[in-house]
Amino acid sequence: MRKKTVDVRALKASGFIRQTENEYFVCRLRVPGGNIVTEKMVQAAELAKKYGRGYCHFTFQQSIEIPYVKLDDMDALKAELDGLGLRMANCGPRVRAITACQGCKVNPYGRVDAPGLAAAADEKYFGLDTPAKFKIAYSGCNIGCPNPQENDLGFHGMVEPELAPELCNGCTLCVQLCKSRGGESLVMNKETNLPERDDKRCTYCGECIYCCPTNAWVVKRIGHAVYVGGKHGRFPRWANRVADFVSDEETFELIEKCVAWYNQNSKRGERFGTAIDRLGLKKFKQEVLGDKYTAAKEWDVHGDRPKGVHYRVLHSWDPEDDE
């Protein structure tokens, strides 16, 4: 019997990934931002029963996978997915499905619409070819649940507070909260009985704004912090924070600029962070950011804490690891 020839790379690009057992493939579904309507979730489960072994796997990249699909069933499964409007994700050297947390619509800490932005960015940039995998994450706040510092390009929401002193009753709640969250940016001025903010120590979490019972703290600026070159894997690299307070639209602009720079400056298999290390962060900043965006506050090298605060430093070297 003649053996069927399979182009595994092409299948990876379309979302079918070979399993350990050569005759089976995982079908990876695209769920940008991690939100999927229940109807589609049920349909995916039904397809897992029909074409797989009756279970789905949720990946760390927020995709739903149907394992144990036979090579001969792929076309039929793909046709059913298309008919239901369920889209395939991908694998290999390209922009992956864009991830996000629940953001400000659901989570009290959220400052920006992380899943909405991830879905919009995914429509524009999913599947663009890059020298190696390229992961993008949107985080609603600086707690960073979707790990923006461990993605090739990551964003997290940030807010700069401003005090309307006439509204403050001196309750000290914001000062206590800021301290308990590790910001330690606020102190009460004993003479004025008003909180004072040290911008150098402020993490822009915005909690003072949301805890104040009299709405004395207001939003002065809101936007996203930008991280480049992060990755996990065998040789993790903590991302460089390169800009602060970029707008929603500017996050899209930066995705385009980073992908273009990466394609122009890297060879196949080299991760984005490795290219930045090889060519220098300074060159990257000059060529991609110029003087258009607000520079990131000066932080520890590879860290995201104000200077002097200990944080982890990870390896920045990696071999080619395009899985």
Contacting residues toward ligand SF4, per CB under 6 A: 101-103, 107, 109-110, 139-141, 143-145, 161, 168-174, 178, 183, 185-186, 195, 197, 202-208, 212, 214, 216-217
Nearer to ligand SF4, 77 or 114 (CB): 114
Nearer to ligand SF4, 107 or 316 (CB): 107
- Residues 130 and 123: their CA atoms lie apart, in Å, by 17
DSSP β-bridge partners for residue 157: 224
Question: In the complex, what is the shortest distance from the CB of residue 32 to ligand SF4, in angstroms, rounded to a whole number?
Answer: 15
Question: In the complex, what is the shortest distance from the CB of residue 296 to ligand SF4, in angstroms, rounded to a whole number?
Answer: 16
Question: In the complex, what is the shortest distance from the CB of residue 218 to ligand SF4, in angstroms, rounded to a whole number?
Answer: 10
Nearer to ligand SF4, 24 or 210 (CB): 210
Q: Give the CA dihedral 86, 92, 95, 96, nearest 10 degrees.
A: 40
Angle between helices 248-265 and 272-279 (to 10 degrees): 70
Question: In the complex, what is the shortest distance from the CB of residue 124 to ligand SF4, in angstroms, rounded to a whole number?
Answer: 22
Tokens representing 268 are 């196949």
- Residues 254 and 199: their CA atoms lie apart, in Å, by 26
Nearer to ligand SF4, 132 or 174 (CB): 174
Question: In the complex, what is the shortest distance from the CB of residue 109 to ligand SF4, in angstroms, rounded to a whole number?
Answer: 4
- Residues 219 and 161: their CA atoms lie apart, in Å, by 5
Nearer to ligand SF4, 119 or 145 (CB): 145
Question: In the complex, what is the shortest distance from the CB of residue 160 to ligand SF4, in angstroms, rounded to a whole number?
Answer: 7
Question: In the complex, what is the shortest distance from the CB of residue 152 to ligand SF4, in angstroms, rounded to a whole number?
Answer: 18
Of 151, 146, 64, residue with least CA distance to 103:
146
Nearer to ligand SF4, 204 or 293 (CB): 204
* Cβ–Cβ < 8 Å for 59, 65: yes
* Cβ–Cβ < 8 Å for 140, 107: yes
- Residues 183 and 204: their CA atoms lie apart, in Å, by 9
* Cβ–Cβ < 8 Å for 226, 243: yes
Of 242, 197, 198, residue with least CA distance to 224:
242
Alpha helices in 93-167 (DSSP H): 114-125
Question: In the complex, what is the shortest distance from the CB of residue 27 to ligand SF4, in angstroms, rounded to a whole number?
Answer: 28
Q: Give the CA dihedral 151, 153, 156, 161, nearest 10 degrees.
A: 140
Nearer to ligand SF4, 81 or 178 (CB): 178
Nearer to ligand SF4, 32 or 195 (CB): 195
